[in-house]
Amino acid sequence: MQHMYKFIISICLLFVFVDGFSQQKKDTIIDSKKDTIIYKSPYGLRVGVDISKPIKAQFDGSYSGFEIVGDYRLSKRFYAAVELGFEEETTQEDFTNSTAKGSYIRAGFNFNAYKNWLDMNNEIYVGYRYGLSIFEQTLNSYTPNVNNQYFPANTVSTPITTAGLNAHWSEIVLGFRAEAFENFYITFSGSYKILMSVKDPDNFKTLFAPGFNRVFESGTGFGFNYTLTYLIPFQKK
């Protein structure tokens, strides 16, 4: 009988201990939930302009252009991105002067590799773009490359325009984006471009493709953007 009493007392003490431990754990969970603040990030459409192009036009009389940029947040780290623009540039070579003008689109995605603190929405991102340009090129003037002191070459100044030209390329993008004010962002990005194909005029070369910039023999190039954008938030997650 004595052993029975000890067994019953031990069981009672066990239940008291377990109940006390469970209550303490529950209080800790409740307290931790009260102390935790959950920050939600905005999801929506961000639109803006590239201000580097009008700035360039102010210092370079042979160039003009504008570009509209936009991106849409797909997940915590991924954004769909697109740029639309128009450019015109006159290229002066040793024996030729030509002007290319037309529209372009670049579309792809960005991946934000930066882990923000609390409710910050800054980015250090890498991305990819596919680019397509449709343009025309005008050979304004040219001088035949003839080395003859008795019959010097004369400059031909009759413009020759070829329309329906196009260029396709890929580019890798690296950018830095900071939220200067609520929903207002400043971004600087650079890109390395690889030309996939280009349609040349008859008896001439494409020297400039809008959206790609100068076309070199290597088929590669660089670009940069300095953009101001505003986020239209649709929801927070």
What CATH number does residue 59 fall under?
2.40.160.20
Predicted confidence band of residue 236 (pLDDT cuts 50, 70, 90): confident
The reply to whether 177 and 206 lie within a common domain is yes
pLDDT higher than threshold 70 for residue 6: no
Report the share of the chain in percent with pLDDT over 90: 66
The reply to whether 76 and 134 lie within a common domain is yes
The reply to whether 13 and 128 lie within a common domain is no
pLDDT at residue number 37: 65
pLDDT at residue number 237: 82
Predicted confidence band of residue 51 (pLDDT cuts 50, 70, 90): very high
The reply to whether 95 and 47 lie within a common domain is yes
Q: Are 234 and 43 in contact (CB under 8 A)?
A: yes
What are the residues facing 43 on neighbouring strands?
A: 235
Spatial distance between the Cα atoms of 38 and 55, rounded to a whole number of angstroms:
42
The reply to whether 164 and 232 lie within a common domain is yes
Q: Give the model confidence (pLDDT) of 71-103 as tens digits.
A: 999 999 999 999 999 999 999 988 899 999 999
The reply to whether 107 and 7 lie within a common domain is no
The reply to whether 24 and 121 lie within a common domain is no
Domain coverage including residue 156? 42-236
Type of residue found at 49: V
Q: At a CB cut-off of 8 Å and minimum separation 6, what does 54 contact?
A: 65, 66
Residue-averaged pLDDT of the chain: 85
Predicted confidence band of residue 32 (pLDDT cuts 50, 70, 90): very low
pLDDT at residue number 25: 41
> If 0-12 CB within 10 Å is exposed, 13-18 middle and 19+ buried, where does residue 154 land?
exposed
pLDDT at residue number 94: 85
The reply to whether 140 and 217 lie within a common domain is yes
Most confident of 6-10, 20-24, 37-41, 233-237: 233-237
Q: How many domains does the chain have?
A: 2
The reply to whether 86 and 194 lie within a common domain is yes
pLDDT at residue number 104: 98
The reply to whether 76 and 14 lie within a common domain is no
CB count, 10 Å around CB of 230? 13
Q: What share of the chain is helix, strand, coil (3-state, %, to 5)?
A: 20, 55, 25
pLDDT at residue number 147: 65
The reply to whether 1 and 50 lie within a common domain is no
The reply to whether 76 and 19 lie within a common domain is no
pLDDT at residue number 151: 55
How large is the average pLDDT for residues 191-207? 94
pLDDT higher than threshold 70 for residue 177: yes
pLDDT higher than threshold 70 for residue 33: no
Question: Phi then psi for 2, rounded to 5 degrees?
Answer: -60, -40
Q: Give the model confidence (pLDDT) of 113-164 as tens digits.
A: 998 877 788 999 999 999 999 999 999 998 877 666 555 677 888 899 999 9
